[in-house]
Amino acid sequence: MMNVESYRQYAADCVRKAQGEETPEERNIVLNVALAWLRLARQTETMEAAADDSAGAEDESGLAAEAADDGTDEAGPGDDAPRLAS
């Protein structure tokens, strides 16, 4: 998978290429491609940040669950059976 820096580099390449285009229409087309690369970079950053946040939340909830579990089974097999009084 490509990375955000690659997307930004492609956008910069498009801007340089646009400067050499002969007509305004051609410049606009290449500049729009540059904008598309920049949008993709921004979307990728947003998705990566969301994935990192999600992974962090899962780690935290896993730690909380481990802390709450003291290693004993409070309800195991046969716990529902009536107990005899001694």
Per-residue pLDDT 10s for the chain (86 aa) are: 689 999 999 999 999 999 999 999 999 999 999 999 999 999 999 999 999 888 887 666 666 555 556 555 555 555 555 555 54
Nearest CA-CA partner of 16 in 36, 1, 30, 32: 30
Residue with the two structure tokens 């970079």: 41
CA distance 54 to 58: 6
pTM given for the model: 0.63
CA distance 47 to 45: 5
